[in-house]
Amino acid sequence: MSGKLVIGNWKMNTRSESAQALVAALLADPATNRDGVGVAAPAVYLAQVARQLEGGRIALASQDVSRYDADGAFTGETSAAMLADVGCRYALVGHSERRQYFAESNEALLRKMRNALAAGVTPVLCVGETLEQREGGQYLEVIRQQLAILAEIADGEYVVAYEPVWAIGTGKVASLEQIAEMHAFIKNWCLQNAGSSANIRVLYGGSVKAENAEAILATKNVDGALVGGASLSADSFRVICQAAGKLI
Ligand code: 13P
């Protein structure tokens, strides 16, 4: 495990044509067309993006995965096996927007993690506290509760993304001290409770931009970034990926 991992989370953005243009720009640039860079495209465009990425080095990620594991009557769902089938290497699990708008519980998230792992797709478990929880001093406890499902997973490679809810899409970035404290906390928790996952990667997400990427990525225990808004522009995403590429 070496090098930082940067994944662009496009969320519910792009259209067929703009997704194609964005991927074309990323493929044309050695700063982004390399190992350790990924894009999480909307489900409806995954197959299109997968075809375009063929022969390149950028990894494909999904923004979610179904909690149901077998094919069947689950209208609207996308299974882990389907994601693997179109070539997804990663699946985001438990993004705060999904926790907030779709009331995803730890129980559902554990099923999603297990389904992704069983299909050979690396889950990226997203955790993060709200502003209220941070200001109330409960932030470590909140993250501990969100991490708890990792203790239920016997084996398999996964990634954790720390995304403070108050820093997502707000332009407010957590301070380097806050990031360092939380990333150390997450790594220690995993070491003590999630056994074989001592090599776990912990990404930071929340208003990562071209201007702040290098300082964030150079912070201790930050193994990469999950980038929202700034990943929709090839120019800003490339600067972030370039900063990551300079660091081990
Ligand atoms: P922004 O980078 O737009 O703040 O979004 C972060 C995020 O939620 C990535 O998953």
- What is the position in ligand 1's atom list of the atom closest to the CA of 11? 10
Residue 132 a catalytic site member: no
Structure token digits, residue 164? 């403070």
Residue 95 a catalytic site member: yes
CB distance 236 to ligand 1 below 6 Å: no
CB distance 197 to ligand 1 below 6 Å: no
Active-site residue (options: 77, 95, 177, 211) = 95
Over range 25-34, report the average pLDDT: 98
The interaxial angle of helices 234-246 and 16-27, nearest 10 deg, is 40
Which residue's C-alpha comes closest to atom 5 of ligand 1?
Answer: 228
Residues 147/190, Cβ–Cβ less than 8 Å: yes
From 213, 215, 153, 159, select the one nearest 187 (Cα to Cα).
159
pLDDT of residue 186: 96
Over range 66-83, report the average pLDDT: 97
pLDDT of residue 169: 85
What spacing in Å lies between the alpha carbon of 93 and ligand 1's midpoint? Answer: 14
Q: What are the backbone dihedrals phi and psi of residue 185, each rounded to the nearest 5 degrees, phi first?
A: -60, -45
Question: Is 194 a residue whose pLDDT tops 90?
Answer: no
Between CA 239 and CA 40 the distance in angstroms is 18
Cβ atoms within 10 Å, residue 133: 18
Can you give the pTM of this predicted structure?
0.97
Between CA 18 and CA 23 the distance in angstroms is 9
pLDDT of residue 195: 66
Q: What are the backbone dihedrals phi and psi of residue 150, each rounded to the nearest 5 degrees, phi first?
A: -65, -25
CB distance 128 to ligand 1 below 6 Å: no
CB distance 208 to ligand 1 below 6 Å: yes
Please write the tens of the pLDDT for every residue from 109-145: 999 999 999 999 999 999 999 999 999 999 999 999 9
What spacing in Å lies between the alpha carbon of 185 and ligand 1's midpoint? Answer: 21
Structure token digits, residue 98? 């999904």
Please write the tens of the pLDDT for every residue from 82-99: 999 999 999 999 999 999
Residue % of the chain over a pLDDT of 90: 90
Mutate which of 163, 172, 173, 239 to test ligand 1's pocket (most atoms within 8 Å of Cβ)? 163
Between CA 140 and CA 92 the distance in angstroms is 22
Distances from the Cα of 99 to the Cαs of 43, 58, 62, 86, in angstroms? Answer: 18, 27, 16, 25
The mean-pLDDT minimum among 28-37, 87-96, 165-174 falls in: 165-174
3 or 154, which is more confident:
3
- What is the position in ligand 1's atom list of the atom closest to the CA of 229? 3
pLDDT of residue 110: 97
Between CA 90 and CA 70 the distance in angstroms is 19
pLDDT of residue 247: 85
pLDDT of residue 170: 87
Contacting residues for 22 by C-beta, under 8 A, at least 6 apart:
14, 39, 232, 234
pLDDT of residue 1: 52
